[in-house]
Structure 1
């Protein structure tokens, strides 16, 4: 069916819509007791084209599902090795990334045959491998987060973030760290006071260039990306992603969950504010356009908060309204008004940035995450950002606005976390999953033109919550999107159908700044 939705175009934001694809939910599988294994969750998944199966990584191991029917096939228990974080599949080989029982110790990658489902080999990699992928030539890469481990009554154990490259033909592992950047400044944020890149930077996710020569790695807390030369197996650059100016039109945000007297919440209270966002992407995906590689990032945001584990340990989070967060009187002559609960007082910010002159007060307000997705060129430079479209478009649809959890407005909003891409004929679609909505929500964008991505539709799955792992693929001449939903512990599969001759619709309405958008949606 064709359905019209209204989208807020704050401060004359012009948001075109492309009618490029329809979608239909095929099935949802609920992991855990009664279906697979008690305590099993759904976090990251990979498609096995040899057997038409989805391998879904969760806390207890991997659940294998029949992709055609959504039925349970088998569980592989990995709890004896540590905590399973990620799975990837290539040419009948599955690779599991597993953190050691003590997460600051070396992690491991296990490989399995996807047909016999038998164990093949184990490799030691860096501390806390959080994501695993295959290169074009069959090597295996892991992003090793290397988080610090806080311990009650003992000193915190530091770990080094790294990237490991496994050559299975030689049984060799090369692990790359950031000690070569210890004398540099301005390339990536330093979070912990007095730390250096080799200790502080934490790789999160990997995407590969289309020519197979390079990999781009997100350094989430550092608000940067690292480029890896896969031929020389060296880190060739680290690029800061900079700051997003929320005082500019198109970058509006909702800063509080207590908008009115009596702590009354008003969802969708989007406005410009003297605030700078750190993009801090989690997932990254790559695609080709015009013979070049581009990277799409889901700008979730993340902080370092060891106080959640041990009282008194380092925590960079603070609210603007806290008495300990002092705004520079010259930069913020209206500091008292800004600190009001109905203004910025509830907004969660960092203590590890914004004090530009080192005098102990804050000259800029830095918040976690971009509340958006971005497109980067092959060197990590931004060519597109979705501004506030992800939330504003969702809120502007009367049927969908209730899905926004205003309780998250003071802390990263809907939190775009997962992203994947799909080539659909001569167009490329990106799917961006929101971690913090009241049902599973995934935005579809046409990113064929990297500098002018266009909104297509929202996929809403009322049976699921918090999409984390997304995988789009073609099989048997048809297109699919598989989604692992972390909080609900469900996996869903959607069919994606091309719409011939995509057209762009946009109409700017006088005075209100509203755009009428048309998008084709097929619901299951």
Structure 2
């Protein structure tokens, strides 16, 4: 659950975040290239470890080094030579980190920022900043609890972290979710933002699809869980996904203030365009309409400014709050359905129908009588585009990712009852006059490629097979690439493999 890239200078993450402005791009002679974004093919790979390795990558164009998270034993950052992407070399200059997992990496202007959680994840984490050339430690800055993603502003003046603030599994501690803004030019001074100012709006937000919940005694600020951040090309505004909360927050970076929370609402699977397979026990993969809704719950986020409007691209993975002391998920066969709404409840609860689908018990029983009149599943099995000024949805890929995965022979029916393909990472990049989106899908080990030159009408181009459980999706534009051709770098957490792709044409 980590990813990011930014405009022109790529940075890393669980997936990849991008900030692009089409107006900036057309004035950059370095983008006047001719490449076919549908022709990406693998040119190199490297295996750096076991599960937990190769989660996130960040590339430095000055040194031609690729930095990769490695958490499969001793937590560290691997340093790889990408001078020849077809022959990736381990420089044997690992950066060892003390404390908990390294969750995210980002590069800007010769600096490598690493988001590192505390050994006890409920305590304050930190950002370590290193030199990309000599790998020396420049600065350590405290953050909120569990910094899950780090990014630089495009102007290189700020470092931002999304601090998820997950609870202890027994809920003995549940820290507030926060965002840390670090001012590099002011000796790395940090400002920590929480969401307490929105507590009075909770009911209004909830009516629009915002979720904030937990065991008895949970507080509003503790229930907020920031996941990923993207920053506008002018470095004045940032947006952060609140995955478990089914929302996106907007931040004024000059004022260092969270100005808005945009609830994302719900997806209706009872339409032809959104038809999906919701059972892993129905003997195959068949997409149908169902009386079920999906919570978007985005993980990675990227921004493309087009016509002055920030278009926010999200990978709608979904996530479940499931801890020893509290779990929100139930299978439909384990809950009671309102017979007035579901007269065929017994048939629906069969394993081959909807019985095994995981839904949240926190929604759907509006009157509290123990009978569910609506069903809400995790994630939306899609990527979406939202208006960054208003939060309005401008596009959703509906069921296309599922359909394309099935056509490619990689759809995993065993995940139909959960979150399906799990779109987790998203990266944006510019190739000549085209803007391209790369959507990492964790459960089918693939990346979908889309032409998003018109951001409200993305066009599917291709699907690429990658490593096991891709987390980091990183685009390197041709002008920053060691080959002077665009690169797609995908790092996968379950097999520790990093793969490099480039267009053939």
Equivalent pair of 1:193/1:352 in contact (CA under 8 Å): no
User: 1:186 Cα deviation (Å)?
Assistant: 4.0
Q: Distance in 1 between matches of 2:387 and 2:336?
A: 37
**1:458 aligns to what?**
463
Q: Distance in 1 between matches of 2:107 and 2:504?
A: 24
**2:169 aligns to what?**
150
- Choose the corresponding residue for 2:60, options 34, 48, 53: 48
Answering whether residue 220 of structure 2 is matched by residue 191 of structure 1, we say no
User: 1:197 Cα deviation (Å)?
Assistant: 2.8
Deviations 1:174-213 (A, max 9, x none): 0000111112224220131453431101000001112221
Secondary structure of the structure 2 residue equivalent to 1:321:
helix
Equivalent pair of 2:52/2:493 in contact (CA under 8 Å): no
**1:388 aligns to what?**
399
**2:331 aligns to what?**
319
**2:185 aligns to what?**
169
Secondary structure of the structure 2 residue equivalent to 1:407:
helix
User: 1:106 Cα deviation (Å)?
Assistant: 0.5
- Where do 5+ consecutive residues of structure 2 fail to align? 1-35
Answering whether residue 385 of structure 2 is matched by residue 363 of structure 1, we say no
Deviations 1:44-85 (A, max 9, x none): 111101111111112121111112231111343444232210
What's the TM-score, normalizing by structure 2?
Answer: 0.87
Which structure is larger by alpha-carbon Rg, 1 or 2?
1
Q: Distance in 1 between matches of 2:456 and 2:151?
A: 27
Equivalent pair of 2:51/2:495 in contact (CA under 8 Å): no
Q: Distance in 1 between matches of 2:503 and 2:249?
A: 32
User: 1:39 Cα deviation (Å)?
Assistant: 7.5
What's the TM-score, normalizing by structure 1?
Answer: 0.84
Q: Cα distance 1:40–1:201, how it changes in 2: closer, same or farther (>3 A)?
A: closer
Tell which deviates more after alignment, 428-437 or 329-338. 329-338
Q: Distance in 2 between matches of 1:237 and 1:160?
A: 18
Answering whether residue 243 of structure 2 is matched by residue 220 of structure 1, we say yes
Q: Distance in 2 between matches of 1:224 and 1:389?
A: 23
- Choose the corresponding residue for 2:434, options 427, 431, 455: 427
Deviations 1:394-453 (A, max 9, x none): 212xxx21x22111000000101111011111111100011112xx31100111112211
Secondary structure of the structure 2 residue equivalent to 1:395:
helix
User: 1:353 Cα deviation (Å)?
Assistant: 1.1
Aligned positions of 1:440-519 closer than 5 A: 440-461=445-466, 464-474=467-477, 475-476=480-481, 477-496=484-503
- Choose the corresponding residue for 2:80, options 52, 59, 65: 65
Q: Distance in 2 between matches of 1:443 and 1:186?
A: 36
- Choose the corresponding residue for 2:119, options 101, 104, 110: 101
Aligned positions of 1:205-216 closer than 5 A: 205-216=228-239
**2:361 aligns to what?**
351
Secondary structure of the structure 1 residue equivalent to 2:221:
helix
Equivalent pair of 1:40/1:61 in contact (CA under 8 Å): no
Task: Name the structure where strand makes up a greater proportion of residues.
Answer: 1
Equivalent pair of 1:210/1:293 in contact (CA under 8 Å): no
Secondary structure of the structure 1 residue equivalent to 2:440:
strand
Q: Distance in 1 between matches of 2:59 and 2:122?
A: 30
Secondary structure of the structure 1 residue equivalent to 2:91:
strand
Secondary structure of the structure 2 residue equivalent to 1:200:
coil
User: 1:150 Cα deviation (Å)?
Assistant: 2.2
Aligned length: 451
Equivalent pair of 2:163/2:227 in contact (CA under 8 Å): yes
Answering whether residue 90 of structure 2 is matched by residue 85 of structure 1, we say no
Q: Distance in 2 between matches of 1:484 and 1:157?
A: 32
Answering whether residue 272 of structure 2 is matched by residue 249 of structure 1, we say yes
Secondary structure of the structure 1 residue equivalent to 2:53:
coil
**1:181 aligns to what?**
198
**1:23 aligns to what?**
40
Q: Distance in 2 between matches of 1:156 and 1:369?
A: 28
Aligned positions of 1:326-337 closer than 5 A: 326-337=336-347
Q: Distance in 2 between matches of 1:486 and 1:414?
A: 16
Secondary structure of the structure 1 residue equivalent to 2:347:
helix
Secondary structure of the structure 1 residue equivalent to 2:405:
helix
Report the RMSD for the aligned CA atoms in angstroms: 1.5
Equivalent pair of 1:481/1:496 in contact (CA under 8 Å): no
